[in-house]
Structure 1
Amino acid sequence: MSLLERFIEDTALHMGLGHRARSLVDVLVDYIRSLPDGVHGLRRRFDAVGLGTHFPGDGRPSRLLASQLESVVGREELAVLARRAAFPTGMFAVVASDLLPGLVNMLEQEARTPPVPIRAPSLPRSSPTLRLVRGTALRGLLWVLVAGALLCLTGWIHQKTRVSPGVPAAQAEQQSPPRLSLVNHHGVIDVRGRLPGEADRRKVWSALVAQYGHGKVSGDILRDPQAAAPRWLDRLVTLAPVLRHQGLSLSFNGDRLHVDMTRLSPRDRIAVSDTLRRGFGHLQVSGLWDAGRIALSQLPATPAPEELVTALNQGKVRFLHKSPTLRADGHEMLRASAQAILAAEPGLRLEVGGHTDSLGAAETNLHLSQQRAEMVVAELEAQGVPAGMLVPRGYGEEQPVADNRLDSGRDRNRRIEYSILQ
């Protein structure tokens, strides 16, 4: 595996970007290689804006902020790169600034590694007997290759004939996402969907009947052999009691879960959201609530600055572990926050403060808190909040609000906190 491929895999894993890591890294690599002299050309750009000491080369573990990267690349060019990578500009700037030091060091290491020459093996002089043996072996190998090709062709023809008329072969071989919807309708659980096997269908149905009784479960789960294996099935069986709330709706589609709990009381929304967040944290979950979303939904049409900040600070913006990347419910929280900020009195300016727990080095935590604050500002601006209304600032571990020796305390200390700028 090449250094670049290994870097892409590490990025996908540690930044939580999945398949999107490749497009982002490819865009950054293409940008660096398009500059005159490549990495050296990028160094000159750092020098030109007075950031030469921050250039992440020669193996130095330098750290960059999104604002520094923007001054080097330029706002317009940064937006172009973000579009090519299919990322929002603000998110691209935050993630790219975090990746650039390691990427530059990887490119420098790649440039210093000489290519391994491929040498053809020297063939000794062969005797007539050896030539005869080799000729026989080659003829045998040729027959084996011909037979293998015929077998592959026969298998292909057989596979084509098994596909039903009117259905393309590629479509027949492609797996579809497993789907399942569960709705508590006046105390009756209506369940519908498509799962790959009979055992999966029975597992869900039996769990619901055991929890609510035969007369309280309706609907149908179809068996779909083309559906992929659901990663959430065992958790769903365990959490079947959560459906006791009338009006609650769960919709699974592949690795996505959408929750509708608009008919639940605020207290039940928070309780159900906490349960689902713990149970399905490995999925992309939307529709969850917390105290912050409820407080924002109860604000007046034009909230005063103080009550706006109070509501904003009741919410929890969630990130991936030790990363500035937002989780799915983090995006939802910020969409609700943006709507409230846009409804506030004109002329308001807010500081967006990033805070961490005390685990890890203080310098690392300070940098991460600044990245997270910048990510929040970028997301809010992408939702329509005017640029300049929000000022990001990272505080690291300097201002804890709870005991860092406890898990619950560290969770409270990892926060985004808004304050009014005079």
Structure 2
Amino acid sequence: MSLLDPFIEDTALHMGLGHRARRLVEVLVDYIRSLPGGVEGLRQRFEQAGLGHEFPAGAPPHRLLASQFERIVGRAQLVEMARLAAFPTGMFAVVAADLLPGLIDVLEREAAEAAVAPVPARVPQVVTAPPRSLRGGALRGALWVVVAGALLCLTGWIHQKTRAPAGTMAQVAAVAAAERHQMPRLTLVVKDTGVDVRGRLPSEADRRRVWTALLAQYGQARVGGDIQRDPQTQSPRWLDRLIAVLPSLDHPGLALSFSGDAVNADLGRLPEAERVAVSDVLRRAFGHLPVTGLWDRGRVALAQLPEAHDPPQLAKALNKGIVRFEHKSPVLRADSMDTLRASALAIRAAGSQLRLEVGSHTDSLGGSDANLRLSQQRAEAVVAELRALGVPSSVLVPRGYGEDHPVADNRMEAGRERNRRIVYTVLQ
């Protein structure tokens, strides 16, 4: 087993990346091995970026900030690596910067083991030439086989062209259709007169479950639309949770769509209070999936800022938003991205003269040193994502505070949830 395998397993467990850890590590490894000299080439990149002191000769690199990692690899390369790993750019930079020292150690140990591994000796083989008469017969036989094979291929090609073009095209079209329909899809539009549902699910049982739940919620006369059954469609990961929360989604004006694992909520026609309430329901139900269109009190406060607001008013509005992370991990949850996009837009509008500290706080579970490091990673993750969304680097300063400044009782989960927070502070 490769030394990378336990490293990937540890990354998946302790950073909350799950199955995504393997692809991320593979992208990093491919980048390092693509450099002239491999690890030594990476060390030269540190030197070129003015960060040679972070990777001294004969030692692994120190832990980096996401901004330092970006300086080393370059912005264009960072964006491409994040794309290949299927991560947001800022999040990829944070995780890669944290993993790099351990990954370098693994690669150097693998190289050392390969250098001392014994090379199996090759046993020379004695080949006896066949008699001249046998060689001539063999060559003539091989030539006839090649000619016969070519004639068969030509005949088959002519047959396909003249006899079965329609069938061939139909097969290609069927394959393409199957590929297009692999993702389960469902759209719900709630109206004053009821609900309209349309989509494609893999089985009749799935179709009936959705239809029965809607009939129970709205009644026979108020449910319209059509759900098609397609056995080529993958099983939806969201179906059970959707059926469980349907009673909480009876808000005329709401449009909710599922495509594969992605969830999009159109809440623009709801009153602001209902936007937040429905968003909270959707976060609890689908926060583990890529979900967009959600609101929170921070987005509402940012939308209500007066045109001529000052930096303290901006910070107050930003602090009403909630940024969520995977459990004990610096990985941002997908349901936080709408909040960060709205925050980035408001910060960019304030101008490059603004300076904000992005402070991260944790609960008290775990060791204090680990929590301090986790809080710094989370602050850097938020800063990296805001920078990726267009906020100038000079505006943001990440700082982790660990568990030292609680605002609620850590003995209760509700208190611990309040203590896990991002706080924006205006700097002079």
Normalised-by-shorter TM-score class? 0.7 to 0.9
Alignment of 1:50 onto 2:56: no
Residue equivalent to 1:294: 300
Distance 1:118 1:247 in 2: 71
The one-letter code of the counterpart of 2:283 is R
How do 1:115-126 residues align onto structure 2 when only pairs under 5 Å count? 115=117
Residue equivalent to 2:100: 100
| Structure 2 SS opposite 1:92 | helix
Alignment of 1:245 onto 2:276: no
Distance 1:164 1:37 in 2: 49
| Structure 1 SS opposite 2:327 | coil
Q: Give the deviation of 1:370 after TM superposition.
A: 1.6
The answer on whether the counterparts of 1:302 and 1:344 sit within 8 Å (CA) in structure 2 is: no
How do 1:49-68 residues align onto structure 2 when only pairs under 5 Å count? 49-51=52-54, 57=60, 63-68=63-68
| Structure 1 SS opposite 2:172 | coil
Count of residue pairs brought into register by the alignment: 379
Question: CA 1:163 to 1:362, structure 2 compared with 1: closer, same or farther past 3 Å?
Answer: farther
Residue equivalent to 1:165: 170
Distance 1:286 1:328 in 2: 8
| Structure 2 SS opposite 1:50 | helix
| Structure 2 SS opposite 1:388 | helix
Q: Give the deviation of 1:190 after TM superposition.
A: 0.6
Question: CA 1:167 to 1:33, structure 2 compared with 1: closer, same or farther past 3 Å?
Answer: closer
The answer on whether the counterparts of 1:3 and 1:110 sit within 8 Å (CA) in structure 2 is: yes
Structure 1 stretches lacking a partner, 5+ long: 121-160
Deviation digits for residues 115-164 of structure 1, max 9, x if unmatched?
A: 477799xxxxxxxxxxxxxxxxxxxxxxxxxxxxxxxxxxxxxxxx9988
Structure 2 stretches lacking a partner, 5+ long: 123-165
Q: Give the deviation of 1:90 after TM superposition.
A: 3.8
How do 1:14-93 residues align onto structure 2 when only pairs under 5 Å count? 15=15, 21=21, 24-33=24-33, 38-39=38-39, 49-51=52-54, 57=60, 63-69=63-69, 74-75=71-72, 77=74, 79-86=76-83, 90-93=90-93
Distance 2:67 2:196 in 1: 51
Q: Give the deviation of 1:46 after TM superposition.
A: 6.5
Distance 1:413 1:55 in 2: 41
- How does the TM-score come out when normalised to structure 2? 0.78
Distance 1:201 1:116 in 2: 60
How do 1:108-257 residues align onto structure 2 when only pairs under 5 Å count? 108-114=108-114, 115=117, 165=170, 167-168=172-173, 170-171=175-176, 174=179, 176-257=182-263
The one-letter code of the counterpart of 1:50 is H
Q: Give the deviation of 1:184 after TM superposition.
A: 0.8
More displaced 10-residue stretch of structure 1: 261-270 or 111-120: 111-120
The one-letter code of the counterpart of 1:414 is R
Q: Give the deviation of 1:344 after TM superposition.
A: 2.6
The one-letter code of the counterpart of 2:80 is R
Deviation digits for residues 161-193 of structure 1, max 9, x if unmatched?
A: 998825356436646101001111114111111
Q: Give the deviation of 1:105 after TM superposition.
A: 2.5
Residue equivalent to 2:136: none
More displaced 10-residue stretch of structure 1: 338-347 or 242-251: 338-347
Distance 2:210 2:120 in 1: 57
Question: CA 1:52 to 1:199, structure 2 compared with 1: closer, same or farther past 3 Å?
Answer: closer
- How does the TM-score come out when normalised to structure 1? 0.79
Distance 1:67 1:385 in 2: 13
Residue equivalent to 2:414: 408
More displaced 10-residue stretch of structure 1: 214-223 or 109-118: 109-118
The answer on whether the counterparts of 1:366 and 1:395 sit within 8 Å (CA) in structure 2 is: yes
Question: CA 1:307 to 1:100, structure 2 compared with 1: closer, same or farther past 3 Å?
Answer: same
Q: Give the deviation of 1:28 after TM superposition.
A: 2.7
Distance 1:63 1:367 in 2: 11
Alignment of 1:325 onto 2:331: yes
Distance 1:233 1:93 in 2: 33
* Aligned match for 2:367, one of 358, 361, 371: 361
Deviation digits for residues 324-364 of structure 1, max 9, x if unmatched?
A: 22222222111101121223366321111111112222222
Q: Give the deviation of 1:289 after TM superposition.
A: 1.4
Distance 2:72 2:391 in 1: 18
Deviation digits for residues 235-266 of structure 1, max 9, x if unmatched?
A: 11111202311111110111111111222222
More displaced 10-residue stretch of structure 1: 355-364 or 44-53: 44-53
Question: CA 1:10 to 1:224, structure 2 compared with 1: closer, same or farther past 3 Å?
Answer: farther
Distance 1:170 1:389 in 2: 51
The one-letter code of the counterpart of 1:334 is L
| Structure 1 SS opposite 2:422 | strand
Residue equivalent to 1:260: 266
Q: Give the deviation of 1:229 after TM superposition.
A: 0.8
Distance 2:397 2:26 in 1: 31
The one-letter code of the counterpart of 1:108 is E
The one-letter code of the counterpart of 1:363 is D
The one-letter code of the counterpart of 1:338 is A
The answer on whether the counterparts of 1:303 and 1:343 sit within 8 Å (CA) in structure 2 is: no
| Structure 2 SS opposite 1:167 | helix
* Aligned match for 1:272, one of 269, 272, 278: 278
Distance 1:265 1:90 in 2: 33
RMSD of aligned C-alpha atoms?
3.3
| Structure 2 SS opposite 1:366 | helix
Identity within the alignment, %: 61
